[in-house]
Structures are given as structure tokens and as C-alpha cells.
Amino acid sequence: MSDLITLTLPDGSRRDVARGTTAADVAASIGPGLAKAALAARIDGEIVDLSRPIEQDASLALITAKDEADALELARHDFAHLLAEAVQRLFPGTQITFGPATDDGFYYDFAPAEGRGPFTEEDLPAIEAEMRALIAADKPLRREVWSREQLISRWKQQGERFKAEWAAELPGTEPLTVYWSGDDWLDMCRGPHLPSTGKLDAQAFKLTRVSGAYWRGDQNNAMLSRIYGTGWLNKKQLDAHLMHLEEAAKRDHRKLGREMVLFHLQEEAHGSVFWHPNGFVIYRALEAYLRRRLDAAGYREVKTPQIMDARQWEQSGHWGKYRENMFVIPDEVPNTEDEGPVISNDAAWMALKPMNCPAHVLIFRQGIKSYRDLPLRLAEMGCCHRNEPHGALHGLMRVRQFTQDDAHIFCREDQLVGEVAAFCDLLDVVYKDLGFSDYAIKLALRPEQRFGSDEMWDWSEQSLRDAVAATGRNTPEWGWEELPGEGAFYAPKLEFHLTDAIGRTWQVGTIQTDTVLPERLDASYIGEDGARHRPVMLHRAILGSYERFIGILIEHYAGRFPTWLAPVQAVVATIVSDADAYAQDVAAALEKAGIRSETDLRNEKINLKVREHSLTKAAFMLVVGRREAEEGTVALRNLAGGEQKVMPLAEAVAFLQAEATPPDLR
């Protein structure tokens, strides 16, 4: 075996180097600047430490801060380990568990020392200071391969029962690695890591919050303290992110929901929304708008049961694949006596529906369907329930009870591309009407665990590609991307990711092909040849759920909705009490024109009224005083900003009517 190996660099050039050469050696041979800037290396596509020996011919690319995505992932991973080391230095006896990088930072889960109690946000400044001291120390980070027995022994000696438990379950067939920070602290980790702690910018991170988290995500296990942080490559990136977080906090739908009295949630109904009148106005306006769009697109609305027998869910496959997310109900009358169990062990099981699709197949199966009946587009504003863990619930964004703008299209194979393309066009109109002109389209491909043959998946995936291509949206301008392994267990799907006013993305709409469920539930139609055929079933939603989409809308518009969605479209406010009667006449004219309005006749200064109603996000204010009452005019003010304009009442009503008209009716 030769002592030399050949490394191929990104520019195509080749270097013959000694076997065992590291990427750090190569960087140093190219120049001191690169040696200083290098953070890690990509060897044959795999990111590894700079110090990893290279034992065979390979392609080699050095990673620097210019490779931002890779560099951020490395930095955030290191910040997580730094957090763990800092906590154990400051709080001896604390046990460490896991600490991954996240999309904008990192976290680490800790078991505080016995008797200490959980960590709090008051602990964060001291932990940050210790992390900065570790960065200043520029401690080398060193990888070692250990046996599973070594790992378990080490963790038990250190009193790290969580790490010992995890190490005992790791497969003994693969190399198990630890990383040393200097010579006095280590953690179990696959890596890779930066060469040393000093490669991190001490001013480029911030610890943000503390929460509880169950060990391994199981509520039957120990409760841990999770410390979150955000980490970046430099202070400029951090400052920009913190400013973004500040803006996001101002737009938080939970905060605005309270201020605008839109909805509330409480423990007596975990994950279910109490819609207040103002909030339900938005809900109803959005629902009415979407109904009109669906009617115009040839959908037929249905309503299906909330509860179905478990045998139906077994037949559809959900009982086996999805039961953990379902609310199951015994089908019997509960015991009302004080003695004995409330429910026996003999009851058959039913379940609240977590989705509408099996019920829509049952509707399709009623009566004989011909190829001439297809496509059949069945829509349902379907209320569903999913058994989300309490800790995962988040305002309107993640709930247990929700209503989908759901629909299923039953079509022939030759109709599939046209139906998906038509859906893409409909979705485009809806998103633009709702203020989202920027969205990306992703194709989620087959997962490892799935129903159906490879031939079916090949056809389904290609059909979705062809449909998007038919609309001209399979381009970088539309954010077109394919996502391996991200499809549902029964079908590939198109995902639609909205970008909101402050640049965040939200995955909302989806359409997916399905030949599995029609087969499992025996749905068929009579073809032109007189034989029975399976329809293709398209599962599709534009908003996803009303609850989550309204949460997104609240944050996108910062509560200041377009007039047609605003809970209060106009406030009639008086300058003097002499104008009270005229203000009531103005309000009556607005009501007659279908404009949602309120009156403010309080004996307060008009500037105070303007300020207060601006905060509650009313759309317009009509100010009236003696002169306006005498002349039959109003002073119209857009509370989102803009100058006040005096005009005749009829003109103001006509203007507001036009502003309050939903986009599909203009």
C-alpha cells in the first residue's frame, strides 16, 4: 500500500499527501490565512473535524465562515456543548443529557443537582459569562473513540445516570465518540466540532429562556431544565436576529389576541380555542371567503361524523400508524354509581376523527360512480381532534381541536395532473388575496416506512412534478425543491411554504396523491370499458387549519388586518356631546351598508380616542363634531396611518363599503 493518497480540491486540482494527513495540514500548506479561517472540512461529502486523519483518496473542501450554513451548524453545536460545560462548572452535581443545534441556535437539557430546583432565567447571565470565559480560554476540542463499556463506566463514575442509560442503548457495532474540551471536560457526541472554543465569537450568542422538558420527550420520565440560546457567527448576525425576535414578540398572536379580545385558551380545555366575538368575526369572514372560492372551483361541501368506530380506523390504516395521536372513546354507557370503575374493560373502541379523509371515501362509496362523475371534489370545514402532548401546545399554532379547510378530489389517473395544476392556481389566488405573494413549493418524497409499491410511488411523485411544471412553478423563483423522505406514509405531497411580513416561513397548504386509501377502503368507479377501477384520491388543504392560519394572519399583519377581515371596520367618535345623535345616525348608515362599526361617545379628548382605537387595530375612524353634524359630513381617518379627510357621509360610506368588500367580490 502506498504511503501517499490523492486529495481532490473543489477547483479540480489534486494534491498527493501522506496517508494520515489532516485537513488542517492541507489548509496550512495552502496558506496561513486559510489555516486560520478553516473551521472544519468536507471529505467525500461528509463534514468532519479539521484534525481527522485522511486515510484514503478523497475529495476535500475546507469549510470557513463563508460557507455560512455549515459554519452556523458547527458553531451552534459548539455553543450547546459550551453551555453544558459552563453549567457544570457553575453548578456542580448537575447532570447533562442532550444538546442539539436548532434552526436559530441551540439548547441543552439538564437535571439540576438534588435539592437545587430547576434553573431559572435569573441563572442565565452567570452562565453566559462562564461561556465567554471558556471561549477566551481557547480550549482545544479533541475527538476520541471509546468502547460502549468505557462510556458507561465513565458516566456511572461521574453520576451521569441519563448519559449512562443512553450509552447502554447505543449499538456496539458503530464507533462511539466523545469530545474533550481541553483535558478536564468531555461529552458524548458524534461531532464534528470546531478546532477549539476560541473559534467561536464570544459576542455572537445569547441565552434566551428556560423551560421544562421530559427526559426523552416522555411525560412518564423525569422533568429536566432546558436552557435555550441563539448562536451566530458574529455580533452583527446576532443583533439582527435579536431585532427580528423583538419584532416577532410585538406580533405574537397570543399577545395581540388578548389585546384585541379575539380568543383565549385555558387549562379546562387544553389545546381548544375559546373564540370571542371579535375573533370569530375574522374566522367567519375567512370561512365565507374560502367557501365562495371553493364553490366557484367546483367543490361540493359535505359534513361527516366526529366519532367513528375503531374498526373503520383499522381498515384505513390510521389505527396502526396514528393511534397515539388520536382520542379514543369506549363505546358504552359509563357507570354512574359511586362504587366500581367508570368504564368496564369490555367496551368496543371508537375515536374522535383526527382527519376527514376516511369519511370522504365512505361518502364516495355511496352509490355507483361512473368515470363521467369524475373528478368529484368533496370539501369539508371539518373539525378534527389530535392528541398533542400538553407541552407541545402553542397558542393557535398547535392545538388539539381544529378545523381544516379540507377537501378530497377523486379522479381518474389521466385527470390527476390537471387537477393538481388547477389546485395550484386556486391556492395562488387565495394566498395573494390574503396578502401572501411570496411562497415556495416543495415536493416531499417517499419516506422509509410507507404503504404501496415502488411503482406507485414513482408514478405519484412524477405526476406531482408534471403538475407543477404545467403551471410554470417548478423554478427557483417559486422556491421549487424536492425533500427526500418527507412524504406521508401513504403518498408524496406538495407543500406550500408562505413567507410572512418579517421573513418567517410557514408550511400551510398541501396536496398529496393517494392510491392506498381507496384500495384499503374499496373505493371504485365504473370505467369507460365497463370494468371497476380505483380512483386516485387527492388530499388537499389551502390554509391547513383555520386556527393556525388565523394565528399566522395575526402575526403577518401585526393585528392590523385588511378592512374586509378587520373585526371593527369603523369607529364613529365624537368630539363633543352635541354630536352624539348625529354619530348614531352615522353608525346606522354604516350598519345598513354592512360595515362592522362601533361608536365612541365618551367625554374624552379625540386624540385619546384615536390612540386607543389605533391600539385595538380598528381600521378607520369617522370623527364627528358640531360642524360635521350641521353639514352632514365626517372626518375620515385611516388608523393605520395617513391624513384625515373631510367628506360627505354618503361618500365615506361608499368608500368604506369598497374597502370592506372581500377580494373575490370586488
Q: Hunting for cell 406521508 — which residue is that?
A: 488
Which entry of 293, 318, 357, 385 is annotated as an active-site residue?
357
Which entry of 88, 95, 404, 569 is annotated as an active-site residue?
404
Q: Hunting for cell 353639514 — which residue is that?
A: 631
Which entry of 386, 400, 442, 450 is annotated as an active-site residue?
386
Which entry of 77, 254, 442, 539 is annotated as an active-site residue?
539
Q: Which residues 6+ apart lie within 8 Å of 35 measured at CB?
A: 24, 27, 28
Taking alpha carbons only, the member of 419, 420, 421, 386 closest to residue 403 is: 386
Distance, in Å, from the CA atom of 283 to the CA atom of 619, rounded to the nearest integer, reads 17
Q: Answer for the pair 566, 639: CB distance below 8 angstroms, yes or no.
A: no
Give the distance from CA 162 to its chain's centroid: 30
Taking alpha carbons only, the member of 604, 609, 605, 632 closest to residue 620 is: 609
Q: Which amino acid is at 51?
A: S
Which entry of 408, 446, 450, 473 is annotated as an active-site residue?
408
Q: For the chain, what is the total number of helices (H) and then of strands (E)? A: 20, 32
User: Does 666 qualify as catalytic in the annotation?
Assistant: no
User: Does 315 qualify as catalytic in the annotation?
Assistant: no
Taking alpha carbons only, the member of 40, 26, 98 closest to residue 73 is: 40
User: Does 394 qualify as catalytic in the annotation?
Assistant: no
Distance, in Å, from the CA atom of 486 to the CA atom of 622, rounded to the nearest integer, reads 52
User: Does 77 qualify as catalytic in the annotation?
Assistant: no
Q: Hunting for cell 388575496 — which residue is that?
A: 433
Which entry of 42, 254, 493, 548 is annotated as an active-site residue?
493
Q: Answer for the pair 353, 304: CB distance below 8 angstroms, yes or no.
A: yes
Q: Hunting for cell 481541553 — which residue is that?
A: 182
User: Does 539 qualify as catalytic in the annotation?
Assistant: yes
Q: Which residues pair with 205 in a beta bridge?
A: 231
Q: Which residues 6+ apart lie within 8 Å of 662 measured at CB?
A: 285, 288, 289, 292, 433, 564
Taking alpha carbons only, the member of 92, 213, 107, 216 closest to residue 160 is: 92
Distances (CA, A) of 90 to 113, 130, 135, 487: 11, 8, 15, 45
Which entry of 406, 428, 500, 514 is annotated as an active-site residue?
406
Q: Answer for the pair 526, 475: CB distance below 8 angstroms, yes or no.
A: no
Q: Answer for the pair 406, 303: CB distance below 8 angstroms, yes or no.
A: no
Catalytic residues: 357, 386, 404, 406, 408, 493, 539
